[in-house]
Chain A
Amino acid sequence: MASASPSSFKAARMEQFPRCLRRTPAILPQKLNLSQSQSWRWRWNSSACTTAARSNNNAPHPSNSIPVPVVAPSRSASASRVKRHTISVFVGDESGIINRIAGVISRRGYNIESLAVGLNKDKALFTIVVSGTEKVLQQVVEQLNKLVHVWKVEDLSREPQVERELMLVKLHADPSTRAEIMWLVDIFRAKTVDISENLLTIEVTASMRHLFLQSLLL
């Protein structure tokens, strides 16, 4: 809903696990968040800033250990809050690599929310969404780094991102309802990609929370 107020976007974003995501028949969610996330971070300033500050103050990253002021590490509330993190893993291809990566994460008891793989001739890029606290994410990144064929692991949730979700909806649409459906499709700037006698296939691309359409259609 392009005309929806910004506050409803924020409200949707503030939900940790929006319901629309669970019902999404998305095929390969490509998550790239727009600058909305930056403004979101400013609104949530206190907790976000504490998180950033804390991660600089501690010495969790030994490979680039900045000499650390010797202070006992404090766990702020944000550090133990469960968040969704997006990790990108770049690997050299090998048979069974998907299994390996999924195995590393689940062996430690962490949950993969979604996994997307892009394959090149002999390299692959995984985009994994894991939910957990900062500490969990740190462990996941370190364990993935231990895998032999992994070239690089990055935590994308810290960067400004553009995130999109693609939804393909197949609807039962006989001639009587078709017109209404196509009017709705127009409003949401979705596209009709296929029509048959009583089936209609619609494609919607939007940033994640923009999926009121589905609830309306169903």
Chain B
Amino acid sequence: MAATHAAAAANLTFSFKCSYHPSPFLSPKPPTNQDFPLHFPAKSNPSPLRIISSAISKPQSPTTTTSSITPAGTHDTFISRFAVDEPRKGSDVLVEALEREGVTTVFAYPGGASMEIHQALTRSTIIRNVLPRHEQGGVFAAEGYARASGRPGVCIATSGPGATNLVSGLADALLDSIPIVAITGQVPRRMIGTDAFQETPIVEVTRSITKHNYLVLDVEDIPRVVREAFYLASSGRPGPVLIDIPKDIQQQLVVPNWNQPIRLPGYVARLPKLPDEKHLEQIVRLVSEAKKPVLYVGGGCLNSSEELRRLVELTGIPVASTLMGLGAYPCNDDLSLQMLGMHGTVYANYAVDKCDLLLAFGVRFDDRVTGKLEAFASRAKIVHIDIDAAEIGKNKQPHVSVCADMKPALEGMNKLLEERGNKLKLDFSAWRQELQEQKVKHPLTFKTFGDAIPPQYAIKVLDELTDGNAIISTGVGQHQMWAAQFYKYKRPRQWLTSGGLGAMGFGLPAAMGAVVARPDAVVVDIDGDGSFIMNVQELATINVENLPVKIMLLNNQHLGMVVQWEDRFYKANRAHTYLGNPSKESEIFPNMLKFAEACGIPAARVTKKEELREAIQKMLDTPGPYLLDVIVPHQEHVLPMIPSGGAFSDTINEGDGRSQF
């Protein structure tokens, strides 16, 4: 058979070759199944628990991780469990289609309408199911898997309530551009629209919160639909795709045709092309003319961390990162200004406010970053590179914009800079000096009161003890902001958090997914008591599946972020933000250690600052899952803070719950 890539290209109805313009400064790559393969760290696939019968599937995994998302190789050399013309059930076809896409783990919760799929999964020797205890836990776990590895995460749920429980996860994946394929069962075709038992029109419900969705009405479509779903989830701007499969189709016998081409001509034709060299030259020229440039990087740069580092090395431009982009550039580096935005560092916001050139790479000018749009980077020329054309000019009109993938754009810019670096003589040392003064004047600080544990200190100690190499997942709230500020991320895909949607309960299931994706890494879930209890049922999963998730729970008995806003803007009027037991306020309620004990997980509580380091070390040393309950005061506020709709001049850098406002 012809070269796998060429065969894959020939499979598409619209040839890629005409839309692929190899630029002179890039060595031409063979056209792959998609234009922009995701690159991830060279961690290997987790080995599935079951014994792999076909030796072929193992070597395919490295191909998956390094070249393309839809491994053309698997399609040609895949060895099926079934004979070529043996009829099998639709659910078996679905599972085999997943295997062909290189899926090794799914997060599936069974139900009446998806039972057939689970039966088929038991017959698969390649795919392992990690059983969550709530479908929301399953979809957040699929997200954690996708965020930590870069490959699409797969979750399966049944019809009706199972499908509607996926909604939060799908909305989160869409807002943060995470590749997920969600498969839901559906009632039989003849019962659709009759208000049948456990029927919900999930395709209608999730239409605006998924990148695309499918209702399969013909069993012959399953191979094509699955292939299209994976392609859509991971190409262009990644996003969630939902496939709804009625039960009678899952049960119908069919001989599948694996060679159906995907039918997405408009989408494929509109995928962003390689950036034009003229535009990159213009950007380089702007850089050379600027005196105070700043790099504003976000989630779009997570796959091009190497190129970003090279760019900063060549130019010496300081880097401010959004919440989603943390880790794209190492936070412990001198040139890193860490996070910017509502709870970003003073020096990062200062830099953006005073800069004269803002290089916005892979960002969408979210309102948490910009605050008042007119005042954001008001003195700067704005250069915006993004893979999604709709984001360019949506919030802030750029002066120069390029719609392209960050990796080739950065490669092109680096090449230009290497060619002309000597002539350009970029020197921003005065600007860097100015920012260094700001760093010294307004560092990230916290106060200590007696022997109470400052939550920021707990995260700092964790950073030291894990050497900044752990994968951190968080819930939402104050602990999330402190985890973003005080932990120094060195690499992309270390930081897993619900950014755009801000879904509480994200931490524990996402950590589960991350452990499955990267079994050799240390995974710590920094959670708050509010967020933790929203998906506490997943403690059962991490014990049973033996997923070594370390949970560091910053327990202040309150809904911290809301309490902070109440203190600042509502005269400390507590409106349903106390999560403890009002009749016994001196006791810690609920006793999280008992939750852990109920699920057979070792746990400990620490209340004094002196005992903290040892407790965290014990948590990291104990093999398997562990829960550490860290009691922290609730009067702490996340600082600095720019109130929503505010400008840099409105930055608040003092005060906490102990003072009056």
Contact = CB atoms under 8 A, between A and B. Distances in A.
Interface of A: 58-60, 62-63, 65, 67-68, 70-73, 91-92, 95-96, 99-100, 103-104, 107, 135, 138-139, 142-143, 145-152
A138 B263 CA distance: 27
Contacts of A63: 272, 389, 403
Interface string B377-418: 000010010101110111001111111000000000000000
17 contacts: A59-B398, A60-B392, A70-B400, A92-B266, A96-B204, A96-B207, A99-B207, A103-B208, A104-B208, A138-B393, A139-B390, A146-B388, A147-B212, A148-B264, A148-B267, A149-B264, A150-B266
A139 B364 CA distance: 14
Nearest to B397: A73
Contact of B399 (A62, A70, A100, A145): A70
A60 B395 CA distance: 12
Contact of A59 (B203, B215, B272, B401): B401
Given A103-B208, A142-B390, A145-B390, A152 B266 contact: yes
B399 A73 contact: yes
B372 interface: no
A68 B212 CA distance: 34
A165 B14 CA distance: 38
Given A70-B381, A139-B394, A151-B265, A107 B208 contact: yes
A96 B203 contact: yes
A155 B428 CA distance: 44
A72 B399 contact: yes
A135 B396 CA distance: 11
B232 interface: yes
A92 B278 contact: no
Interface string B190-217: 0000000000000110011001100100
B546 interface: no
Nearest to B391: A142
A152 B270 CA distance: 9
Interface in B396-454: 397-403
Contact of B389 (A70, A71, A96, A142): A142
Interface majority SS on A: helix, strand, loop or mixed?
A: mixed
Q: Closest 7 CB pairs between A and B?
A: A142-B390, A62-B403, A151-B266, A62-B401, A73-B397, A148-B212, A62-B392
B399 A148 contact: no
B279 interface: yes
Interface majority SS on B: helix, strand, loop or mixed?
A: mixed
Nearest to A59: B401
Nearest to A91: B266
B177 to A, nearest CB: 12
A138 B397 CA distance: 12
Nearest to A69: B399
B360 to A, nearest CB: 12
A122 to B, nearest CB: 10
A218 B397 CA distance: 49
A72 B382 CA distance: 9
A68 B397 CA distance: 13
B23 interface: no
A180 to B, nearest CB: 51
Given A65-B403, A142-B389, 13 more contacts: A58-B393, A62-B384, A62-B389, A67-B278, A70-B399, A73-B397, A91-B266, A96-B204, A99-B204, A142-B394, A146-B390, A148-B212, A149-B266
B274 to A, nearest CB: 12
Contacts of B394: 139, 142
Between A59, A96, A145, A149, the greatest number of chain B beta carbons within 10 A of the residue's beta carbon is seen for: A59
A155 to B, nearest CB: 15
A71 B266 contact: no
B399 A59 contact: yes
Nearest to B272: A63
B333 interface: no
B595 to A, nearest CB: 39
Nearest to B279: A65
Contact of B400 (A65, A104, A145): A65
B615 interface: no
B276 interface: yes
B286 interface: yes
Contacts of A142: 389-390, 394
A96 B202 CA distance: 13
Contacts of B392: 60, 62
B622 interface: no
A47 B270 CA distance: 32
B282 interface: yes
A59 B614 CA distance: 56
A109 to B, nearest CB: 12
Contact of B207 (A58, A72, A100, A146): A100
A173 B211 CA distance: 54
B386 to A, nearest CB: 8
Nearest to A143: B390
A25 to B, nearest CB: 30
A70 B286 contact: yes
Between A92, A95, A148, the greatest number of chain B beta carbons within 10 A of the residue's beta carbon is seen for: A148
A118 B656 CA distance: 62
B564 to A, nearest CB: 30
B264 A67 contact: no
Contacts of B393: 58-60, 62, 135, 138
Between A67, A146, A147, the greatest number of chain B beta carbons within 10 A of the residue's beta carbon is seen for: A146
A57 to B, nearest CB: 10
A155 B437 CA distance: 51
A8 to B, nearest CB: 39
Given A58-B397, A99-B207, A65 B402 contact: yes
Contacts of B397: 58, 60, 73
Given A62-B392, A143-B390, A103 B207 contact: yes
Nearest to A149: B266
Interface in B239-269: 263-267, 269
A18 to B, nearest CB: 32
Contacts of B279: 65, 67
A160 B286 CA distance: 38
B282 A67 contact: yes
A72 B396 CA distance: 11
A139 to B, nearest CB: 6
B223 to A, nearest CB: 18
Contacts of A92: 263, 265-266
Contacts of B282: 67-68
A91 B384 CA distance: 29
Interface in B44-86: none
Contacts of B389: 62-63, 142, 145
Interface string B276-311: 101100100010000000000000000000000000
Between B266, B267, B384, the greatest number of chain A beta carbons within 10 A of the residue's beta carbon is seen for: B266
A72 B263 CA distance: 42
Contacts of A150: 266
Contacts of A146: 388, 390
Contacts of A67: 278-279, 282, 400
Contacts of B208: 103-104, 107
Interface string B4-17: 00000000000000
B347 to A, nearest CB: 25
Nearest to A100: B207
Nearest to B269: A151
A58 B399 CA distance: 7
A147 B390 CA distance: 11
Contacts of A62: 384, 386, 389, 392-393, 401-403
A152 B208 CA distance: 20
A22 B480 CA distance: 52
